[in-house]
Structure 1
Amino acid sequence: LNCAGRDAPSTDPCGACPHCLRIARGADIDVIEMDAASNTGVDNIRQNIIDSISYAPSESRFKVYIIDEVHMLSTSAFNALLKTLEEPPPHVKFIFATTEIRKVPVTVLSRCQRFDLRRIEPEDMLALLRRIAEAEGARIDDGALALIVRAAEGSARDATSLLDQAISHGEGTTSAEQVRAMLGLADRGRVLDLFDMILRGDAAAALNELAAQYADGADPVSVLRDLAEVAHWLSVTKVTPDAADDPTLPPDTRARGAAMAGRLSQRVLGRVWQMLLKALEETQTAPNAMMAAEMAVIRMTHVADLPPPEELLRRLAQAPAPGSSAPGVSGPAAPPAGNPGPRAATPLPPAAAFAAPPAPVIRSDGARALAAAQPAVAGLERFARFEDVIGLIRTQRDVRLLIEIEDNLHLVSYAPGRITFRPADRAAPDLAQRLSARLIGWTGARWTISVTTAEAGAPTIAEARSAEAEAKKARARAHPAVAAILAKLPGAEIAAVRTRAEIDAAAAASARPALPDRDPVAGGSADGDDDEGNDDGWDPFDDDTL
């Protein structure tokens, strides 16, 4: 704007004219810089800008006002400046710098030209810091410069500030260890070691390494942040292998990261990333950051080796069906004499509602997960389905418990020895405890009964039975003969629907008992027939035949 070596404002200043030299030295009186972070009020705007803006520049082409961190100005200060922005004098230019563009009022943004400055590339930043260090006569390792570049995150101002601090912090040659101690960072190689221990599920080694880094001065939050950075770097490297060529990392670290990215799956890396984000939140708010970091490491070591969903699906597909046995393997032994065990349960009409295997598991927080088919607990092979548990309750004649389960239990998942259900609103608070105590007492094996509050689970047995009965009635009403009967009998209702097999079974149960064979000596034949055609001889008043 003010270069005198050009005939007009240009983006390519000469750098040799008096104006360029004074601006480079920060000695030009026509270029005024104000820090909005320390001058936030109306009085500061009035004293530094409004009162002097009407005066023409002394030597330069324009009077330039540079306001750094402009988003820090108060609302009243923005309002005081707004009139000047709407009608600025022709000899005045404003340059607003901010890292929080969303905090600048829209009324100010609408009167400005916006230029988004990209972050400086790591290679350019390294060259800049190396040039500054050589000009200052400072000796600093390339590894230390790489740490400063990574911490600056593309900001030259932050990088130069850290470089100045590192040079004054070190004695002689500034090493990477000194910069790492200054920034409270852990060694990158040790971070990779810790990451590898976590993914191997070695909790003891991971805790020892975390404690060692903490003893060496590393901040627990910084360690978790470095682990998250490693997870992100490996994930990106897995998708784009060129990302492994990070100039801020030494060659051995790049090679190790590329090998880890090829060995780990994207699903594992994503799961660790999510857990690290949660761990960072917990660590920053925990009373003791180190304890929170240790708990996070323990959780990750136990979760990192979980099989992927496709492996779980493969196990489910290869698992034998409930009640079946592998070839060459005999089934469960028969119960000993005198203790036949519970009889087989009578199939309930709504059996389809509970016949599904326990693949979808609903945890207490409502989240869904896919569980592999779990082996039956020893001694519980005969309870392959939830209907077998219902049959056991029927056999033990615990009518109260049976009614409560049929009316108030929404089954979520079932495996022999493990039941998860959602209780109905009217269910007794101690239903889970009583059910567990009864099953343990009846079977002699351990049962885990879990209760969830999530809106999940199959309908109750009573609801499923009622729904099936209504479905039968609906099918019966649709039959032409039944529809004709109902039309002839207004107000008639279908009370129940029974199959022919159920009718025959009920008739057989209510039929009169068969007579014993008569003694031939008494005048009858051995097969119950006589010469007079009296083929039954049944006396309804004979107590012996009733």
Structure 2
Amino acid sequence: MDDTEAPSLGLGPAPGSSAAASSGDYKVLARKYRPSDFTGLIGQEALVRTLSNAFATGRIAHAFMLTGVRGVGKTTTARIIARALNCIGPDGKRTEPTIHPCGECEPCRAIAESRHVDVQEMDAASRTGIDDVREIIEGVRYAPASARYKVYIIDEVHMLSKQAFNGLLKTLEEPPPHVKFVFATTEIRKVPVTVLSRCQRFDLRRVETAELVKHLANIAGQEGVRIEEPALALVARAAEGSVRDSLSLLDQAIAHGTEEVITADIIRGMLGLADRGRVLDLFEKVMGGEIAVALTGLGELYDRGADPLAVMQDLLEITHFLTRIKVAPGAEGFFDGASSEAKRSADMAAKLSVPSLTRAWTMLLKGLFEVRDAARPMQALEMALIRLAYAADLPPADKLVRDLMDGNAPAAPRTPAPGGAPAGNGPRMAMTNERPVAMAAPAPVAQAGEGPVFRSLEEIAAFANERGARLLKVNLENDVHLVRLEPGLIEFRPSERAPRTLAADLTQKLKDWTGQRWTVTVVRDGGAPTIAEQKKAAKQARHEAVLQQPLVRAVMDRFPGAEIIAVRDVVPEAAEIEAPMPESEED
């Protein structure tokens, strides 16, 4: 594993580093402030507490599995565990592992510099095979050369091949007492359960923004850098809980800032972020339908260096924040609770309904992927905002239906696309169509003697399905153009994709089912549409019939570009149906 990787959570310079190093010896902050013991870890209290108790009672596991997103301290924690297991103290007299490695003894320094012969680090991303694991299996048999324990640190362990995992299992289950394993991974689901069950697992969590801001402020103070707290908050949010990413961004901010104090505007320019107050203005204009003003404001943000994808992400965060305020007053998130933007957000949330906010979330989320994948992200962002502005004032579906039933909906003429289809990509609707209960049902298979009598191809297909011949049923529905059907005789034209044995299979099945000999003849021309084609045509006819109903036409006029995706039959309730009374003899 490369020593340049630094999941760094330290509160002070790592051993051997100097805060006053010359430019030639410069270390990035992520390496310079890598912690040397568990007291330097931030945001991982559960891990530290569990390991402290284990070391104090002597119940130290033989294998550890560290998992979490990038930059939260997996590799750093693995090295701290290795030092804790092998520290001998400044005087060299310590005989037991300690949760507080001194960082001064030779084992501590050698492990920190990745040069200890008994602490082996392996990057599974580049060494994935069984041969690499075989080296470990052979090595565990030998006692440590100078340390208390041999420690094998395998980073990105999920990258090992299946054969490598299998080869490691036996050794991992019963390692020699002088061997410890520490695994790290960002893809815990890709690690076999058989391996996980043999390890003590620790899930390293993302560091909270407030805690990360405090950590960054401490490091900035040690570096003699003046940076505003709002600027640190922007860095922490951009890092998404990763300490290493936050330190890398802080490094970049220090190099980027030329003024005495690094401000939030400098960080926004560096990251391509927009002012959150301006984004809130943008959201307010879009939801108010003032799209021309909103596009002008968006253009100004873009000219000032705002990244379209970052603007879309901010809009999504604002939508989420307003929704949380709506359903849980006092919720915190996108804006500081005491800021003027937070008060504006509360007022704005009071004016918006939850359905409109959830609809905005859905549309913005779709727009996020469009902006991310578009060749011209700014144009994709503008189109997403235009869609949202025109949909913002649409009424809820239940109110729309009530208005249509009451005759209050405007009846603007609808412009159909060529061929009679609705224009554009509008809403997709499933319509209901009432029918009487006494609607004719498919005729059952009649019985004559001991075998059934088939009167249609549909009956044969249904019977085949009942008897478990489902493949034959599918072929009958999709590949048979029926020419003639009589008792004991079937004549049909097969489709191009019909199996060659269809006629023979059907002949045998009919004989088995009816107990009679059947003649099945294949012809080259003619024949009715297949059952599947007839169903499709019937469905299209129903759609066309539904389109002519006044209520449906009103809906389509209200939503140009709408599309009917299904027509369902709704049987009236029994209480609403009056069965016809039989005529009496007196009448």
Cα drift, residue 103 of structure 1: 1.7
- Does the 8 Å contact 1:15/1:21 carry over to 2? no
Residue number in structure 2 paired with 1:181: 269
- Tell me, yes or no, if structure 1 residue 61 matches structure 2 residue 196: no
Mapped partners of 2:543, 2:86: distance in 1? 83
Mapped partners of 2:152, 2:542: distance in 1? 77
Distance change (3 Å), C-alpha of 1:312 and 1:447: closer
- Does the 8 Å contact 1:236/1:243 carry over to 2? yes
- The C-alpha deviation readout for 1:279-328, integer Å capped at 9, x for no partner, is 1222233333222211111000111122345654775687689xxxxxxx
Written as runs of structure 1 = structure 2, the 5 A alignment for 1:367-516 is 367=429, 409-412=544-547, 414-415=549-550, 418=553, 452-456=563-567, 475=580, 478-479=582-583, 481=585
- The C-alpha deviation readout for 1:89-120, integer Å capped at 9, x for no partner, is 32221222222211222232222222222222
2:202 alignment partner, SS class: coil
1:454 alignment partner, SS class: strand
RCO greater where, 1 or 2, for CA within 8 Å and sep 6 or more? 2
Amino acid at match of 2:247: T
1:475 alignment partner, SS class: coil
- Does the 8 Å contact 2:429/2:564 carry over to 1? no
- Does the 8 Å contact 1:185/1:219 carry over to 2? yes
Residue number in structure 1 paired with 2:157: 70
Percent of aligned positions with the same letter in both sequences? 48
Give the total of aligned pairs: 371
- The C-alpha deviation readout for 1:173-213, integer Å capped at 9, x for no partner, is 43323322332322222221211111111111222222222
Residue number in structure 1 paired with 2:189: 102
Mapped partners of 1:151, 1:248: distance in 2? 16
Written as runs of structure 1 = structure 2, the 5 A alignment for 1:186-205 is 186-205=274-293
- Tell me, yes or no, if structure 1 residue 169 matches structure 2 residue 256: yes
Residue number in structure 1 paired with 2:210: 123
2:546 alignment partner, SS class: strand
Mapped partners of 1:310, 1:449: distance in 2? 18
1:61 alignment partner, SS class: coil
Cα drift, residue 150 of structure 1: 0.7
Amino acid at match of 1:85: L
Cα drift, residue 274 of structure 1: 0.7
- Tell me, yes or no, if structure 1 residue 132 matches structure 2 residue 213: no
Which of 305, 321, 325 aligns to 2:393? It is 305
- The C-alpha deviation readout for 1:222-274, integer Å capped at 9, x for no partner, is 22122111111222233334432668788333333333333332222211111
2:181 alignment partner, SS class: strand
Amino acid at match of 2:429: A
Residue number in structure 1 paired with 2:506: none
Mapped partners of 1:262, 1:116: distance in 2? 39
Mapped partners of 1:63, 1:297: distance in 2? 59
Residue number in structure 2 paired with 1:294: 382
* Structure 1 spans left out of the alignment, 5+ residues: 322-362, 371-404, 422-445, 465-470, 483-499, 501-546
- Does the 8 Å contact 2:225/2:254 carry over to 1? yes
- Tell me, yes or no, if structure 1 residue 2 matches structure 2 residue 86: yes
- Tell me, yes or no, if structure 1 residue 34 matches structure 2 residue 122: yes
Distance change (3 Å), C-alpha of 1:226 and 1:38: farther
Amino acid at match of 1:367: M
Cα drift, residue 144 of structure 1: 2.0
Residue number in structure 1 paired with 2:328: 240
- The C-alpha deviation readout for 1:393-446, integer Å capped at 9, x for no partner, is xxxxxxxxxxxx99985225755994679xxxxxxxxxxxxxxxxxxxxxxxx9
Cα drift, residue 365 of structure 1: 5.9
- Does the 8 Å contact 1:33/1:66 carry over to 2? yes
Amino acid at match of 2:392: A
Residue number in structure 1 paired with 2:354: 266
Distance change (3 Å), C-alpha of 1:51 and 1:242: farther
Mapped partners of 1:26, 1:104: distance in 2? 26
1:93 alignment partner, SS class: strand
Written as runs of structure 1 = structure 2, the 5 A alignment for 1:200-219 is 200-219=288-307
Mapped partners of 2:231, 2:559: distance in 1? 56
Distance change (3 Å), C-alpha of 1:297 and 1:100: same
Mapped partners of 1:248, 1:449: distance in 2? 42
- Does the 8 Å contact 1:414/1:420 carry over to 2? no
Distance change (3 Å), C-alpha of 1:85 and 1:203: same
Mapped partners of 1:407, 1:160: distance in 2? 63
Mapped partners of 1:248, 1:70: distance in 2? 40
* Structure 2 spans left out of the alignment, 5+ residues: 1-84, 410-424, 433-539
Cα drift, residue 457 of structure 1: 6.8
Amino acid at match of 1:120: V
1:367 alignment partner, SS class: strand
1:411 alignment partner, SS class: helix
Mapped partners of 1:274, 1:199: distance in 2? 14
Cα drift, residue 125 of structure 1: 1.0
1:307 alignment partner, SS class: coil
Mapped partners of 2:142, 2:342: distance in 1? 58
- Does the 8 Å contact 2:336/2:342 carry over to 1? no
Cα drift, residue 20 of structure 1: 4.8
Residue number in structure 2 paired with 1:86: 173
Range 104-113 or range 25-34, more displaced? 25-34
1:119 alignment partner, SS class: coil
Mapped partners of 1:34, 1:248: distance in 2? 44
- Does the 8 Å contact 2:206/2:241 carry over to 1? yes
Cα drift, residue 28 of structure 1: 4.6
2:153 alignment partner, SS class: strand
- Does the 8 Å contact 2:431/2:567 carry over to 1? no
Amino acid at match of 1:235: T
- Does the 8 Å contact 1:224/1:293 carry over to 2? yes
Amino acid at match of 1:86: E
Residue number in structure 1 paired with 2:10: none
Mapped partners of 2:247, 2:150: distance in 1? 28
Cα drift, residue 164 of structure 1: 2.1
- The C-alpha deviation readout for 1:466-511, integer Å capped at 9, x for no partner, is xxxxx99x736x44549xxxxxxxxxxxxxxxxx9xxxxxxxxxxx
Mapped partners of 1:313, 1:112: distance in 2? 58
Residue number in structure 1 paired with 2:201: 114
- Does the 8 Å contact 2:273/2:311 carry over to 1? yes
Residue number in structure 1 paired with 2:517: none
Distance change (3 Å), C-alpha of 1:205 and 1:66: farther
Mapped partners of 2:349, 2:426: distance in 1? 34
Distance change (3 Å), C-alpha of 1:289 and 1:95: same
Mapped partners of 1:447, 1:264: distance in 2? 22
Give the TM-score normalised by the residue count of structure 1.
Answer: 0.57
Distance change (3 Å), C-alpha of 1:175 and 1:69: farther
**Whose radius of gyration is greater, 1 or 2?**
1
Residue number in structure 2 paired with 1:151: 238
